[in-house]
Amino acid sequence: MSLSVAVAGASGYAGGELLRLLATHPEFEVRTVTAHANAGSPLIAVQPHLRSLAHLELQPTDPDVLRGHDVVFLALPHGKSGEVTESLDAGTLVVDCGADHRLVNEADWTAYYGGDYYGAWDYGLPELVLADGGQQRDRLVGSRRIAVPGCNVTAITLGLAPAVRAGVVEADDLVAVLAVGPSGAGRTLRNDLLASELLGSANAYAVGGRHRHNPEIRQNLTAAGGTDVAISFTPVLVPTARGILATSTARLADGATAADLEAAYAVYESEPFVHLLPPGQFPRVADTTGSNTCLVGLAVDELAGRAVAISALDNLGKGTAGAAVQSANIALGLPEALGLPVDGVAP
């Protein structure tokens, strides 16, 4: 029997990608979709690519509408998920693609988001390597409350965490510059996201440690074994609808070699969705579009004494909706890769 599913925030980009994946998932049946301003409209009016779900109508995002489902996925702006989730049944699997339940430290939430703090949930990045030798996926088994990572966070974490855990880099000297597609900002009407502003240009934003994903990155790399984690993280908007290319560097630990660096990433050998490329090869965003795959390439800058990890993923796929479905599969005891594409779309 299929598990009944509701998706809140179904009119946005993340909600639309969730629905695209869920529409072909063999164990899930999408029965309810909700929105705010678009409530009352047919889903197909705002997500015209989702032809198989044309029978659904957007309902108000209200706890009473979401109750009674086996699984609820939330794709809401920060500060909105917490208001809804407090009223949902404890036995319902709730997977939040927003920020409300990611941060363990309330002071970090206050500093970067503000407003009510709703507490941290089980963290939905299965491949995160932990200092004790385990992986985050073990903590998702049987969970009923999961917080999906930020998309930039996923790209940087998967690029750096194995090196941090292995001690081959210094966690207090990290730098990451990301090329980011504007869909990561959601379906928002802003001047800097208009095509006429983006096409033919690239611009940095949230410069100087102001991006809200900063504390989450530090949280993850600390969990991986980093001490006094410090990262300078600069995202750059580029004119591609979706995708992230993260160039992350770290000072090599004394005596660490390129061979040590590559050996640290052996933890990804059995991962279905995180793939280390052969030496000398580096990922392209286009090769991950539409997939739940993150590609990682490694190098050592001998002159600078720094490790370089380049990671690419689809911010709406592995960066958001794919991670949500993957984590839900684990929590429910389903095959982890069920319903998730490993192949990208080309050209």
What is the spatial distance between Cα 335 and Cα 329, in angstroms, rounded to a whole number? Answer: 6
Strands (DSSP E) contained in the chain are 3-8, 28-35, 58-60, 71-74, 93-96, 122-123, 145-147, 169-180, 203-204, 231-237, 244-252, 274-276, 294-301, 306-313
The count of other CB atoms within 10 Å of the CB of residue 27 is 18
Residue type present at position 288: T
SS3 295: strand
Of these residues, 146, 151, 224, 332, which one is catalytic? 151
Q: Alpha-carbon distance 91 to 185, whole Å?
A: 31
Active site residue 151: yes
Backbone angles phi, psi at 67, to 5 degrees: -65, 155
Here the tokens at position 242 are 């979706």
For 298, the 3-state DSSP assignment is: strand
DSSP 160-226: HHHHHHHT-EEEEEEEEEEEE-GGGG-S---GGGSHHHHTT--EE-STTTTSTTHHHHHHHHHHTT-
- Look at residues 345, 262, 272 and name the one whose alpha carbon lies nearest to residue 309: 262
Catalytic residues: 151
